[in-house]
Amino acid sequence: MRDIRIALVIVNCPVAAVGENLASVERLAGGAAREGAEIVCFPELNLTGYCVARDVAKTALPVPGPATEEMVRIARSTSLTILAGLAEKDSDGRLYATHLVVTPLGVSGFYRKIHIAPPERFLFSPGGQVSLHSLPGLTFGIQLCYDSHFPELSTCMALKGCDLILMPHASPRGTPEDKMASWMRHLTARAFDNGVFIAACNQVGDNRHGLNFPGVAMVFGPSGEVLQHIGSDKEGLLVVDLKAAQLSDVRRHRMRYFLPHRRPDIYTL
């Protein structure tokens, strides 16, 4: 891994307001670029908004499609890698909670949410692939909201070689303080147990469809420590420098890097 500056976005994402949400992406990606970030990560389903009503299918988007073309244009104009989410409808009509990896050259990859929360199961299909993504000097994974509660997924990504796991959320209810307390319970463990950086962000405010989101963004180092955070009821941008030395210090330490000492040969039920 090399040193890299990332940006995490807290933003309001009204349901079915794709044009409005794309305008927010362009505005906030521009801010991230001015801060010198190379990657900017938006919350889960930021383009289509998040809800679990059946009519979300009416605003689901194809990949590729007009929205992805607009995302590529924004990535090209800002020279950023942009991570953005949408309700995706595939050619067979299945819906996925999908997060795109968009570079100035095009859509380089995507992640479909693997663990579907109980209120979402009648609507979204689960993804079936643990994919990693690469930039020069960085390998990263993406998990979406409920995914972060399953330790095996983070360990799988770490074993595949990721340095950073980005965790966009669309997590409603509670205050920013409540959400930070929740993340402190499990995201610290995902970072500490696997020796990776963890970066999470959430939607904020009224989605115009009955849900309200507490805006939070947090970054954890590979020892489980909080590097930076913001919690607010307003839009925000958290810009953080991830240092390669922080990762190598953990991974060269004979006691603080646990993955090489796993015993998968006896982890059977």
pTM: 0.96
How many CB atoms sit inside 10 A of residue 193's CB?
15
- The pLDDT tens digits for 50-100 are 988 877 778 899 999 999 999 999 999 999 999 999 999 998 999 999 999
What is the residue type of 48? T
The per-residue pLDDT for range 21-41, each reduced to its tens digit, is: 999 999 999 999 999 999 999
Q: Domain for residue 67, yes or no?
A: yes
126: nearest Cα among 90, 169, 83: 90
Rounded Cα–Cα distance for residues 78 and 247 (Å):
28
Residue 268 in this model has a pLDDT that exceeds 80: yes
Tell me what pLDDT residue 131 has. Answer: 94
* CATH code, 214: 3.60.110.10
Query: Within the chain, where are the H helices?
Result: 18-34, 66-78, 151-159, 176-194, 244-251
User: Residue 53 has what pLDDT?
Assistant: 82
The answer as to whether 267 is a domain residue is: no
Residue 54 has what pLDDT? 78
Residue ranges making up the domain that contains 154: 4-262
pLDDT value, residue 59: 87
pLDDT digits (tens, 9 = 90+) for 161-212: 999 999 999 999 899 999 999 999 999 999 999 999 999 999 999 999 999 9
Longest distance between any two alpha carbons in the chain, whole Å: 53
SS3 assignment, position 216: strand
In a domain, 187, yes or no: yes
How many angstroms from the chain centroid is the CA of residue 235? 17
Average confidence score pLDDT of the chain: 96
Does a structural domain hold residue 268? no
Per the structure, how many domains does the chain have? 1
CA distance 26 to 182: 30
